[in-house]
């Protein structure tokens, strides 16, 4: 059972999901790509047994989210875990005005991670310092936001849509669609509903904080659903309670890179760790008779093995 996309429940950590998967699948070899916070739900990709080899290649996959950003109240965690530690009146909002602000966040940008995060500084986790009441000087990280759409402005988190269905552009509000669970709102605050596609390492909690600041008010992430990771959409994600019967995906199909079909000689040299001459450029998945041989990086002159399969 190689790669499985799971719909992570509310109030479980990604590590909790891995623990349950280990028990359900009777194996200790389970990894995941792209951590989800406990208050977030949606797609978490699990790699089982030998498929843990592909984790390193899936961390960089782009991800789609539905994000609810509540304005007028900030929290240290930047989400609905709270408590509220900053409040202010929210300036008048219009859809055109908010969309104009959101365009400033699309593309490459430097983003300061949340204090409540697993980032290490000097061997110390930021969240450990934050829980003790301190802060760390977290340097901004380069991230990419591919798209950021406003789906609506609502009087409160409770007034915003909670049910959605997949469409060609992503997931959209649909009263007859899938209803998502959310943490208890921290109060009645004006709430933006956003649809985002982001690159690896992007914190939606930091994005909520920064969008609020750009609009002139403190803000927190009051709800988050990850609807896609790479080629894995939430519509095909397995329920955690039925993981043993979940449909799995072969390693080869899990790797979202161009494919290069090898002959016997090329496959043998790659498996031996050699650097055979080849004109391919960029990251490639090498196959032999449809079977996975290696992931390589090509520079137009030779291939360098990143990982090989026997």
Annotated active-site positions, please? 37
For β-strands 141-154 and 107-111, DSSP reports them as antiparallel
Whole-number Å distance between alpha carbons of 145 and 155:
26
Could you please report the per-residue DSSP string of 189-229? --EEEEEEEE-TT--HHHHHHHHHHHHTS-EEEEEEEEEEE
Q: Which helix (H) or strand (E) holds 242?
A: none
Q: What are φ and ψ of residue 186, in 5° steps?
A: -85, 0
Helix, strand, coil percentages in the chain from 3-state DSSP, rounded to 5 = 25, 40, 40
Instruction: Give the distance, in angstroms, between the CA of residue 75 and the centroid of all CA atoms in the same chain.
Output: 22
DSSP-based three-state secondary structure for 310: coil
> What interhelical angle do 95-103 and 204-215 show, nearest 10?
120
- The DSSP secondary-structure symbol of 285 reads E
Give the count of beta carbons closer than 10 Å to the beta carbon of residue 135: 11
DSSP-based three-state secondary structure for 101: helix
Whole-number Å distance between alpha carbons of 112 and 105:
13
């Amino acid at each position: 059972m190689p790669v499985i996309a799971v719909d992570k429940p509310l109030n479980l950590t990604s590590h909790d999901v891995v623990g349950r998967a280990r028990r359900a699948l009777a194996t200790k070899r389970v990894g995941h790509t792209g951590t989800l916070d406990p208050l977030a739900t949606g797609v978490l990709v699990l790699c089982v047994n030998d498929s843990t080899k592909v984790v390193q290649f899936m961390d960089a996959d782009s991800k789609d989210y539905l994000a609810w950003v509540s304005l007028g109240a900030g929290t240290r965690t930047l989400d609905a875990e709270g408590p509220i530690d900053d409040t202010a009146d929210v300036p008048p909002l219009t859809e055109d005005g908010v969309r104009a602000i959101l365009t400033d966040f699309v593309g490459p940008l430097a983003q300061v991670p949340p204090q409540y995060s697993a980032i290490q500084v000097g061997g110390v986790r930021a969240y450990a310092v934050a829980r003790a009441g301190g802060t760390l000087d977290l340097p901004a990280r380069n991230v990419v936001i591919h798209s950021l759409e406003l789906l609506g402005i609502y009087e409160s988190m409770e007034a915003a849509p909670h049910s959605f269905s997949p469409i060609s552009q992503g997931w959209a509000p649909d009263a007859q669609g899938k209803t998502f669970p959310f943490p208890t709102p921290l109060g009645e605050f004006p709430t933006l509903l956003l649809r985002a596609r982001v690159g690896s390492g992007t914190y939606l909690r930091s994005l909520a904080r920064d969008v609020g600041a750009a609009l002139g008010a403190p803000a927190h992430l009051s709800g988050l659903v990850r609807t896609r990771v790479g080629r894995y959409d939430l519509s095909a994600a397995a329920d955690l309670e039925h993981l043993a019967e979940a449909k799995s995906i072969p390693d080869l199909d899990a790797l979202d890179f161009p494919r290069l079909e090898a002959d016997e000689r090329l496959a043998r040299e790659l498996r031996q760790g050699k650097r055979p001459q080849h004109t391919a450029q960029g990251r490639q998945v090498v196959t032999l008779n449809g079977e996975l041989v290696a992931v390589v990086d090509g520079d137009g002159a030779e291939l360098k093995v990143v990982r090989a399969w026997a």
